Amino acid sequence: MTKTQRQHRIGELIEREVISTAAQIVVKLNAEGIAATQATVTRDLQELGTIKIRDEHGTRRIVVGGVTHSSPAPLEHLRRMMGEWVVSVESSGNLVVVRTPPGCAHVVASALDRSALDGVLGSVAGDDTVLVIADEQRGGQQLAYEFRVLASLDEVPVETEKRSFHG
Q: What is the pLDDT of residues 77-93, one digit of tens each?
A: 888 889 999 999 999 99
CB atoms within 10 A of CB 126: 12
Whether residue 162 is predicted with pLDDT greater than 50 in this model: the reply is no
CA distance between the termini of the chain: 34
Q: Where in the chain is the domain with CATH 1.10.10.10?
A: 3-64
Whether residue 161 is predicted with pLDDT greater than 50 in this model: the reply is no
Instruction: Tell which CATH architecture fits domain 3-64.
Output: Orthogonal Bundle (1.10)
Question: Residue 54: what pLDDT?
Answer: 84
Instruction: Give the strand pairing for 50-54 and 88-92.
Output: unpaired
By C-alpha distance, which of 12, 77, 10, 62 is closest to 40? 10
Q: What is the pLDDT of residues 29-77, one digit of tens each?
A: 999 999 999 999 999 999 888 888 887 778 889 988 765 444 566 788 8
Average pLDDT score over the chain = 85
Share of the chain above pLDDT 90, in %: 50
CATH of domain 75-164: 3.30.1360.40
Lowest mean pLDDT of 5-9, 16-20, 65-69, 157-161, name the range: 157-161
Q: Where in the chain is the domain with CATH 3.30.1360.40?
A: 75-164
